[in-house]
Chains A and B, each alone.
Chain A
Amino acid sequence: MKFKLVIFTILLSCIAGCKKFLAIDSPANQVTTDKVFLSDATALATLNGILSEMMNSSTQFCAGGTSFYTGLCADELRYYSPGDRDQFFNNAITESVHPYLETNFWNVAYKYIYAANLGIEKLAASTAITPALKDQLTGEAQFIRAFCYFHLLQLFGDVPLVLQSDYRLNEVLPRTPAADIYQQLISDLSSASALLPLQYTNNERVRPTRWAALALLARVYLYTHDWSRAEQTASLVINSGYHSLTATPAAVFLKNSSEAIWQLPPSNVTVNTWEGNQTLPASSSSTPTYLLRPSLLARFETGDLRQTAWVGTRTFQSQLIQYPAKYKVRGNNAPVTEYYMALRLAEQYLVRAEARLEQNKLSECVADLDMIRARAGLAPTTASTSIALAQAVEKERQLELMAEWGHRWFDLKRTNRADAVLGPLKGNNWQPTDVLWPLPVLQLQVNPFLVQNPGY
Chain B
Amino acid sequence: MHLLLKFYGLLRSGTFFAVLLLFSCKLIAQEISLSVQEQPLEKVFLLIEKQSPYRFIYTSEAMAPSKPVSLQVKDEKIERVLALCFAGQPLQYTISNHHVVVQVKMVPKKEIKDRILQGKVINEAGEPVIGATVSIKGTPLVTITTNDGEFYFPAAPTIAQLIVSGAEIDGTSYTSRDLAPVLIRVAVRINALNETIVKGYYTTTKKDNTGSVGKVTAKQISTQPVSNPIAALQGRTPGLLITQSNGLPGAGFTVQIRGRNSILNGNNPLYVLDGVILNSDNLSQSVGVNINNPFNTIVPDDIESIEVLKDADATSLYGSRGANGVILISTKKAKAGKGKLEANFSTGWGRAGRTLDYLNTQQYIAMRKEAFANDGIQPDNSNAGDLLLWDTTRYTNWKKNSIGHTARTTNVQLRYSGGTTQTTYAVSSSYYRESTILPGDFADQRFTLLTRITSRSLNKRFEFSIQSNYSDELNQLVNQDLSVALQLPPNAPPVYNQYGELNWRENGYPFSNPIALTRQTYTGHIQRITSNGTVSYQIFPALQFSITGGMNNQYFREKGLTPISSQDPAYTPKGSAYFGNRSLQSWNADVQFNYSRKFGHRLLVQGFLGSSWQHSKTEGQLLNGSGYNDDLLLKTISGASIVNATDHYTLYRYHAFSGRFSLSYSDKYILNFTGRRDGSSRFGPGKQYANFGAVGMAWLFSKEKWASSLYPILSFGKLRLSYGITGNDQIGDYQYFDTYQPTRYPFMGSPGLRPTRLFNPSYGWEQKSNFDMALETGWFKDKVQLSVNWFRSLSGNQIIPYTLPGQTGFTSIVRNFPGLVENKGWEFEAGANLLSVPGFNWRTDLNLTIARNTLLRFPGLASSSYASTYAEGYPLGVRYLYDYTGVDPSTGIYSFTDFNQDGIINAADRKILRHTNPSFYGGWQHQLTVKQFEFGLFFQFVKQDGTDLFFSLFSTPGREANEPLEVLDRWQKPGDHAKYQRFTTGTGPAAAASYQTPYSTAAITDASYIRLKNFSIQYLLPQRYLQQWSLASAKLFLQVQNLLTISNYSGPDPENQSLRAIPPLRMIAAGVRLIF
Contact = CB atoms under 8 A, between A and B. Distances in A.
B642 interface: yes
B45 to A, nearest CB: 47
A317 B653 CA distance: 64
Interface string B743-778: 111111011111110110000000000000000000
Contact of B752 (A10, A52, A442): A52
Interface stretch (A112-120, A235-243, A348-356): A112-120
B739 A171 contact: no
Interface stretch (B86-94, B331-339, B513-521, B799-807): B799-807
Contacts of B738: 32-33
A83 B383 CA distance: 12
Interface residues on A, range: 35 or more
B753 A31 contact: yes
A170 B743 contact: no
Contact of A446 (B742, B759, B805): B805
Contacts of A296: none
B254 interface: no
A265 B811 CA distance: 27
Given A10-B591, A107-B806, A317-B381, A52 B743 contact: yes
**Which residue, of B505, B868, B991, has the highest number of chain A Cβ atoms within 10 A?**
B991
Interface residues of B, number: 89
A87 B734 CA distance: 41
A118 B907 CA distance: 34
A22 B748 CA distance: 39
B3 interface: no
A387 interface: no
B613 A285 contact: no
B740 A283 contact: no
Given A115-B809, A286-B510, A456 B906 contact: yes
Nearest to A107: B806
Contact of B987 (A86, A118, A160, A282): A86
Contacts of A447: 805, 807
A206 B746 CA distance: 13
A318 B609 CA distance: 85
A400 B382 CA distance: 30
Contact of B653 (A22, A80, A450): A22
Contacts of A167: 758, 804, 808-810, 813
Contacts of A29: 647-649, 741-742
A46 B655 contact: no
Given A51-B752, A53-B752, A106-B806, A94 B746 contact: no
B986 interface: yes
Interface in B226-269: none
A302 interface: no
Interface in A44-60: 44-46, 48-53, 56
A204 B609 contact: no
Interface string A86-119: 1100001011100000100011001101110110
B748 to A, nearest CB: 6
A15 B659 CA distance: 13
Contacts of B758: 167
Interface stretch (B62-70, B348-356, B569-577, B945-953): B569-577
A263 B668 CA distance: 82
Contact of B570 (A10, A22, A283): A283
A27 interface: yes
Contact of A173 (B641, B745, B807): B807
B593 interface: yes
B808 A114 contact: yes
Interface string A415-456: 000000000000000000000000011110111101000001
Interface string A2-43: 010001001100110011011111111111110010000010
Contacts of A18: 611, 613, 655, 657, 679
A14 B589 CA distance: 12
B750 A22 contact: no
Given A22-B679, A46-B753, A110 B807 contact: yes
B651 interface: yes
Given A26-B739, A31-B739, A287 B808 contact: no
A94 B679 contact: no
Contacts of A25: 651
Nearest to B545: A7
A170 B807 contact: yes
Contacts of B804: 167, 171, 446
Interface in A144-201: 159-160, 162, 165, 167, 170-171, 173
Contacts of A282: 570-571
A31 to B, nearest CB: 5
Nearest to A445: B867
A94 B989 CA distance: 11
A332 B383 CA distance: 27
A283 to B, nearest CB: 4
A27 B995 CA distance: 42
Interface stretch (A266-274, A365-373, A377-385): A266-274
A124 to B, nearest CB: 17
B890 interface: no
Nearest to A43: B753
A80 B987 CA distance: 12
B940 interface: no
B681 interface: yes
Contacts of B742: 29
A319 interface: yes
Contact of B805 (A36, A51, A443): A443
B106 interface: no
Contacts of A286: 510, 570-571
A203 interface: no
A443 B679 contact: no
Contact of A96 (B591, B627, B743, B995): B995
A443 B753 contact: no
B358 to A, nearest CB: 22
A24 B570 contact: no
A96 B382 contact: no
B650 interface: yes
B205 interface: no
B708 interface: no
B752 A162 contact: no
Contacts of A45: 740, 750-753
A81 interface: yes
A47 to B, nearest CB: 8
A377 B130 CA distance: 105
A173 B804 CA distance: 12
A45 B740 CA distance: 10
A333 B743 contact: no
A333 B574 contact: yes
Given A22-B680, A82-B985, A446-B865, A268 B808 contact: no
B737 interface: yes
Contact of B739 (A30, A92, A285, A332): A30
Contacts of A106: 806-807
B568 interface: yes
A24 B807 contact: no
A349 B641 CA distance: 41
Contacts of B713: none
Q: What are the 7 A-B residue pairs with the smallest beta carbon separation, nearest first?
A: A114-B809, A49-B752, A267-B745, A333-B627, A48-B747, A446-B865, A283-B570
Given A7-B609, A332-B573, A446-B806, 4 more contacts: A26-B737, A31-B753, A46-B755, A285-B570
19 contacts: A22-B681, A30-B739, A46-B752, A53-B752, A82-B383, A107-B811, A160-B805, A167-B804, A167-B813, A170-B805, A265-B748, A267-B747, A270-B626, A285-B505, A287-B382, A319-B380, A333-B626, A446-B864, A448-B863
Interface of B: 380-383, 505, 508, 510, 539, 543, 545, 568, 570-574, 591, 593, 609, 611, 613, 619, 626-627, 641-642, 644, 647-651, 653-655, 657, 679-681, 685, 688, 733-734, 737-748, 750-756, 758-759, 803-811, 813, 863-865, 867-868, 906-907, 959, 985-987, 991-992, 995-996
